[in-house]
C-alpha cells in the first residue's frame, strides 16, 4: 500500500501549504487534495477586497502561476469526503467509491452558521463566507441599497468595510455589548463603534434580531426593542463552525474541532488536522483551541506535512492574533490581551485621535496586547510575546509609556552593546 497518496481533505490555505510542503520534502509519494468547492484554491481572507471591487476573482486565488499545482505533481479533485475509515486508511467519497491514503490531512475549515432566528432562510439573507456567497452579495449590495449586517465580530467587521465601500446604507446589529468582543475590550470596542458611526454606519450593539420577514420583495427585521429595520439584503456574519460532521463514527477524537497534539496528529496516528478545523495547541495557555487565522493555518499546514512525511517537527503552539481595518481605523490584538491573574496591565488612550494601546504582562514578560490606530511595527508585539523576552527594567518604561514597544524590543535583543 506504499503507493497510496497523501490525501488532503480541503483546498484552503492549510491544505495548499501542506500539499506544497509534502511535495518539497517528499517528491515520491503522490499528493491528492480533495476540495468541495468548484473553484481554484482561493483565500476567504481576500473576499472582502473582491466585494469592495479592489480585486477580481483571480485576485483571491492562493496561487497565481499557471499550472502551479500540476507542475508540482499535486492533484486537485473536486469532490466531498463523506466518511473516514481510519482503520482501513481509506475515505469515502460523496461521488461514490473510496480513496486509499498513506497519511490523511483533515483541512476542511469551517462553515458559516445562521442564528436560530425565524426568517434567516429567506431569499435576500446571505452569508459572507465562500466565493459563491460573495457573488450573491455583490449582485444585491448595490449603491444606495439598505443592507443589514448581522454580527460585528471579526468577520462581520471585515465585511462591514467592503459593504461600506460599495456605497450601501449600512446598519450593523450586534448581540453583544461592543464590536469585535473577541478581539477588543470595552475601550477599544467603543472607539471602533464611534469611528464607524462618524463614517455614516449605524451600529446597534446589545441588540437582538428577533425575526426577519419578507416585505414587498424586500425584508423587514424586528429588533429586540420592538423597532424594525427595512433591508434589501441581510448579510449574516453570526459565526462559523468547524467542518467535522463527516468524522462522526470515524473514531477520530473531536471537540469543537479535531483534537490534535503538538505534531498536528489526531487520535489516529495516520490522520492529521490543520487550519480552522484543527483544535491545536494554544501558545499562551497550552490548551487545545481553534485559532481560525491565516498564520495559524500556514503553520499548521507546514507542521502537519512534515510530521506526515515522518520528519519529527514539534509545534510550539499558535498565538491568537488578529488585525482589522474598520473604515480606515486599524486595530490588532495578540495573545492574552485581557490580562492574566497576578499580571500587570499598561494602557495609553487618546479618544480624540483614536489611539489606544494596552499591554498585558506576566512578571516582566509581555503576554498580550491590543492596539488601535497603530500601523507601524505592530508585529513586534508578536515577537515580544512569542519569544518571551524578559523585559527587565524596560517593563517599568513600558508601564509608563506603552508606545515604546520597538525600543524595548531592540534594547532587550540588540542593545547589549550599549547596555541600554
Partner 1 sequence: MQKALLIDPEKCTSCLQCELACSFEQEGVFNPAKSRIKVFEFEHGLKAIPYTCTQCSEAWCLHACPVEAITINEATGAKEVNPNTCVGCKVCTIACPFGTINYNADSGKVIKCDLCSGDPACAKACPTDAITYVDANWTGYDRMQEMALVGHGRPAKGAAQ
Site map 3..42 versus partner 1, x via CB under 8 A: ----------x---x--xx-xxx-----------------
> Considering beta carbons, is residue 46 or 106 the nearer one to partner 1?
46
Stretch that binds partner 1, among 181-189, 191-199, 203-211, 292-300 (CB under 8 A): 292-300
CA dist list (Å): 292 to 41, 128, 379, 405, 406:
17, 16, 18, 26, 27
In the numeric block, which cell numbers belong to residue 9? 481533505
Residue 220's nearest CA partner among 171, 278, 286 is 171
Is there binding between residue 294 and partner 1 (CB under 8 A)?
A: yes
Site map 351..370 versus partner 1, x via CB under 8 A: --------------------
Residue 183's nearest CA partner among 5, 29, 333, 27 is 333
Residue 104's nearest CA partner among 269, 281, 275 is 269
Residue 36's nearest CA partner among 253, 243, 304 is 243
* Least Å from the CB of residue 32 to partner 1: 17
Is there binding between residue 62 and partner 1 (CB under 8 A)?
A: yes
> Considering beta carbons, is residue 186 or 316 the nearer one to partner 1?
316
Tell me which residue has cell 480541503. Answer: 10
> Applying CB under 8 A, which of residues 4, 37, 61, 113 lies at the interface with partner 1?
61
Q: What is the DSSP letter of 282?
A: B
Is there binding between residue 190 and partner 1 (CB under 8 A)?
A: no
Q: What is the DSSP letter of 64?
A: -
Is there binding between residue 328 and partner 1 (CB under 8 A)?
A: yes
What are the phi and psi torsion angles at 345 (to 5°)?
-130, 135
Distance CA(188)–CA(152), nearest Å, equals 13
* Least Å from the CB of residue 217 to partner 1: 34
Residues in 371-390 at the binding interface with partner 1, rule: CB under 8 A: 375-383, 386-389
Q: How far apart are the first and last CA of the chain?
A: 61
Is there binding between residue 1 and partner 1 (CB under 8 A)?
A: no
Q: What is the DSSP letter of 98?
A: E
* Least Å from the CB of residue 233 to partner 1: 23
In the numeric block, which cell numbers belong to residue 220? 423587514
Is there binding between residue 334 and partner 1 (CB under 8 A)?
A: yes
Is there binding between residue 231 and partner 1 (CB under 8 A)?
A: no
In the numeric block, which cell numbers belong to residue 16? 495548499
In the complex, the residues that contact partner 1 under the rule CB under 8 A are 13, 17, 20-21, 23-25, 43, 45-46, 49, 54-55, 59-64, 293-295, 298-299, 302-303, 305-306, 311, 313, 315-316, 321-323, 325, 328, 330, 332, 334, 375-383, 386-389, 406-407, 409-411, 413-418, 420
Amino acid at each position: 500500500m506504499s503507493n497510496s497518496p497523501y490525501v488532503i481533505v480541503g483546498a484552503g490555505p492549510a491544505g495548499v501549504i501542506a500539499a506544497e510542503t509534502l511535495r518539497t520534502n517528499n517528491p515520491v509519494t503522490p499528493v491528492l487534495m480533495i476540495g468541495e468547492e468548484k473553484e481554484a484554491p482561493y483565500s476567504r481572507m481576500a473576499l472582502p477586497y473582491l466585494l469592495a471591487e479592489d480585486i477580481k476573482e483571480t485576485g483571491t486565488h492562493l496561487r497565481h502561476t499557471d499550472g502551479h499545482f500540476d507542475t508540482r505533481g499535486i492533484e486537485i479533485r473536486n469532490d466531498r469526503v463523506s466518511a473516514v475509515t481510519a482503520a482501513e486508511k481509506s475515505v469515502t467519497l460523496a461521488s461514490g467509491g473510496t480513496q486509499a491514503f498513506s497519511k490523511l490531512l483533515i483541512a476542511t475549515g469551517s462553515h458559516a452558521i445562521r442564528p436560530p432566528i425565524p426568517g434567516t432562510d429567506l431569499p435576500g439573507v446571505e452569508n459572507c463566507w465562500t466565493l459563491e456567497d460573495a457573488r450573491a452579495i455583490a449582485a444585491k449590495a448595490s449603491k444606495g441599497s439598505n443592507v443589514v449586517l448581522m454580527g460585528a465580530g471579526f468577520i462581520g467587521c471585515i465585511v462591514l468595510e467592503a459593504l461600506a465601500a460599495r456605497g450601501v446604507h449600512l446598519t450593523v446589529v450586534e448581540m453583544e455589548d461592543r464590536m469585535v468582543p473577541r478581539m477588543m475590550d470595552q475601550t477599544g470596542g467603543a472607539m471602533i463603534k464611534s469611528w464607524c458611526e462618524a463614517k455614516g454606519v449605524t451600529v446597534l450593539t446589545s441588540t437582538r434580531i428577533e425575526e426577519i420577514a419578507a416585505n414587498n420583495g424586500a425584508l423587514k427585521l424586528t429588533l429586540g426593542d420592538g423597532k424594525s429595520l427595512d433591508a434589501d439584503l441581510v448579510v449574516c456574519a453570526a459565526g462559523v463552525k468547524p467542518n467535522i460532521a463527516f468524522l462522526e463514527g470515524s473514531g477520530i477524537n473531536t471537540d469543537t474541532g479535531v483534537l490534535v497534539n503538538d505534531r498536528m496528529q489526531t487520535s489516529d496516528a495516520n490522520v492529521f488536522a490543520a487550519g480552522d478545523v484543527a483544535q491545536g495547541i494554544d501558545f499562551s495557555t497550552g490548551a487545545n483551541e481553534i485559532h481560525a487565522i491565516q498564520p495559524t493555518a500556514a503553520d499548521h499546514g507546514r507542521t502537519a506535512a512534515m510530521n506526515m512525511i515522518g520528519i519529527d517537527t514539534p509545534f510550539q503552539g499558535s498565538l491568537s492574533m488578529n488585525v482589522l481595518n474598520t473604515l480606515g481605523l486599524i486595530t490588532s490584538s495578540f495573545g492574552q490581551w485581557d490580562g492574566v491573574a497576578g499580571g500587570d496591565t499598561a494602557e495609553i488612550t487618546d479618544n480624540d485621535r483614536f489611539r489606544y494601546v494596552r499591554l498585558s504582562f506576566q512578571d516582566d514578560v509581555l503576554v498580550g496586547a491590543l492596539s488601535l490606530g497603530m500601523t507601524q511595527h505592530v508585529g513586534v508585539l508578536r515577537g515580544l510575546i512569542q519569544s518571551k523576552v524578559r523585559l527587565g527594567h524596560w517593563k517599568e518604561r513600558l508601564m509608563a509609556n506603552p508606545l515604546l514597544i520597538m525600543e524595548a524590543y531592540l534594547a532587550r535583543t540588540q542593545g547589549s552593546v550599549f547596555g541600554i
